[in-house]
Structure formats: structure tokens, C-alpha cells
Amino acid sequence: MENIKSDLLLPLGVSIIISLILGKIVIKILKKAHIGQSIREDGPKAHYSKAGTPTMGGIIFVFSTLITLAIFKGYSFENILIVLGMLGFGLVGFVDDFFKLVMKRSLGLTEMQKIIFQIIISFALIFLASQVSIKPIGTFIIPFINIELNLGVFAYPILAFIMIGTVNATNITDGLDGLATSVTIPVFIALTIIAINFNSNISLFSIIFTGALIGFLVYNSNPASVFMGDTGSMAIGGALVMACIIFNMSLYLIILGGVYVMETMSVIIQVISYKTRNKKRVFLMSPIHHHFELKGYKEQKIVTSFTILSTILSVITLLLFL
């Protein structure tokens, strides 16, 4: 326990401080550059007042993580892979944000362009992860029954699907002040505990990333001074899925990332219902956090409830996986 305190609590604290300092600097730069959030016209009316709030703030916790990792010499091969996942998918989000917010192109990257970039990044990262995963990369551990299934080379497209799905799910979850940030913190605390159990240096990355998110949350919580943008939400998804693939626990993302899954499924259900049931909707608006907004729940209550759910799911994952 003493080793854990000295090895992980200090990086956690340093990461929080660096994130807080960078937050002050980056928000000023974003304001000066007039890089502000545009609000969808069909979104909740309560969001109209958020128009112009600085976005692309994900660079705050991304750079905080990179700096703190360097300070504590945490660039092991495992952590480099997770960093590549964070930066690779974060870059796709950054380019999309840049085109929309800086170049003033309303669409940013097209959906096809995003998918193509994500597929290329996914297969490259999966190949690299195959060099360090705890078991062969084609091994899937099935939750609850704890049976191992080895699919060999057929695992690659499945893992690519999981990777792309996770990144886009975390992106969908970023819709309320502090929501994606708050939901993700218990997820990476769980990953820290899992990494400690495997005596993996990923514990250092996970605790540093947690600290960076905590520092960012100071500025991102309601009322938000900055949004993470696609830059941040996709970076979260990239880091999360890479860590899970290395631990051969990608199927556990259904539980660990249950809030992201719920958000994504609400969108899928809404689209299917609209197209097959004569434009009838299941939810007042999707993703589901907007449904609860339109039902009259305050943002803070929704974020708190989703964070509690994420914490419960993270604890369940720990009990099942360890």
C-alpha cells in the first residue's frame, strides 16, 4: 500500500495541478482565437446560452497526461501504445474540430473520412498491441462465465469494430457540461486497479489520465468554461479501448463502458424507430441524456446520476474481471 501511495498518488496530484494550470492558459488562447461551440438548432433550447463557449479543450487533459508521463518516466511500450491510441483518435477529432471551428467548414470531416481514418488507425494499433497484450491478441475473455475464446486472425476486424465503436460512443456521450469527463473518471480508476493487479505500468498512465480529467473537470463542470470537443472525447475513447485490448478485456467494455453503450444504443434505437415506424420516436431526443433534459431534469442531476451508474459498473467490472 505504501508503494501504491508513493508511486501513484504523487503522479495523480501532479497531473491534476498541471491540468489546472494548462486549463487557465488554453482557455484564454481559445477565447482569443474565438474558437467557440456552435449549438445545434434542433437541440434543447437550454443549450442556446452555451453558444460561443470555448471548445477543443480536450487538448488540456491530453497534454497534461503527456507532460506528467514524461515527468514520471512512464513511457513504457504499453503506455506508448495507449498514448498512440489517445493521440491517433484524438487527432481525428482535432482535425474535425479544426475544420468546423477554425476553418469555418460547417461539416468538418465527412462521416466517410472519419471512418476511413479510424479504420486505418485501428488496424495499426491492434497490430502493435498484439506485441504486448497479456494473452494472444485474438483471445477474448467472456464476461460472467470467464471463458477464453481465441479467434486468431479473425479477431482483428472484431477488435477494429470494438475500437471504432468505443471511440464514437465516448464522442456521443459528450453532450452535457462535465458528462463525458465525470463518467470517464471512475472508468480509469478501475483500469488503474486492474493494472496494479497485473503489475502493469499501465497503472501509471491510468492514474495520470484520471488526474488530468479531474483538473479538466474544474473548468468543464456546469456551467462549463470549456468543452472538450471531438478532440477530447475521441482521445478518451482511444486511450480506453487500447488499455482494454492490452488486458484482453475488450468484451468487458460493455460493462465498464456501460454508460457509453447506453448513450449509443439510444441513438441507434431512435434512428431505427424513426425510419421503420413512420417517424415515431422512442425518446424525446437522443442521445438519452437529452431525453432526460427534455423530461425536466437538470444537467447536474443527469451528470451525477450517470456518474453514479458509471461507478457502479466500474465496481462490477472489477469484481468480475479480477
Residue 41's pLDDT band (cuts 50, 70, 90): low
Q: How many domains does the chain have?
A: 1
Question: Mean of the pLDDT values across residues 4-29?
Answer: 90
**Residue 30 pLDDT more than 70?**
yes
CA angle 43, 222, 209 (to 5 degrees): 105
Residue 88's pLDDT band (cuts 50, 70, 90): very high
Is 322 domain-assigned?
A: no
Query: Which residue intervals of the chain are DSSP H helices?
Result: 2-4, 10-32, 58-71, 77-97, 111-129, 155-173, 179-197, 202-220, 229-246, 253-256, 258-276, 288-294, 299-321
Task: Phi first, then psi: give them for residue 108, nearest 5 degrees.
Answer: 65, -140
Is 193 domain-assigned?
A: yes
Share of the chain above pLDDT 90, in %: 70
Is 112 domain-assigned?
A: yes
Distance (Å, rounded) from C-alpha 141 to C-alpha 160?
17
Is 201 domain-assigned?
A: yes
Q: In this predicted structure, what is the pLDDT of residue 7?
A: 83
Is 36 domain-assigned?
A: yes
**Residue 40 pLDDT more than 90?**
no
Give the Å distances, CA to CA, from 85 to 28, 123, 141, 147, 291.
28, 11, 22, 27, 31
Quote the domain boundaries for residue 107: 2-253
**Residue 1 pLDDT more than 50?**
no
Is 281 domain-assigned?
A: no
- Fill in the amino acid letter for 77: F
Is 115 domain-assigned?
A: yes
Mean pLDDT for all residues in the chain: 90
In a 3-state reduction of DSSP, which class is residue 74?
coil
**Residue 90 pLDDT more than 60?**
yes
- Name residue, grid cell 506528467: 68
Query: Minimal CA–CA distance to 185: which of 220, 150, 231, 161?
Result: 220
Q: In this predicted structure, what is the pLDDT of residue 2?
A: 46
Cell of residue 38, nine digits: 456552435
Is 143 domain-assigned?
A: yes
Answer whether 13's CB lies under 8 Å from 208's CB: no
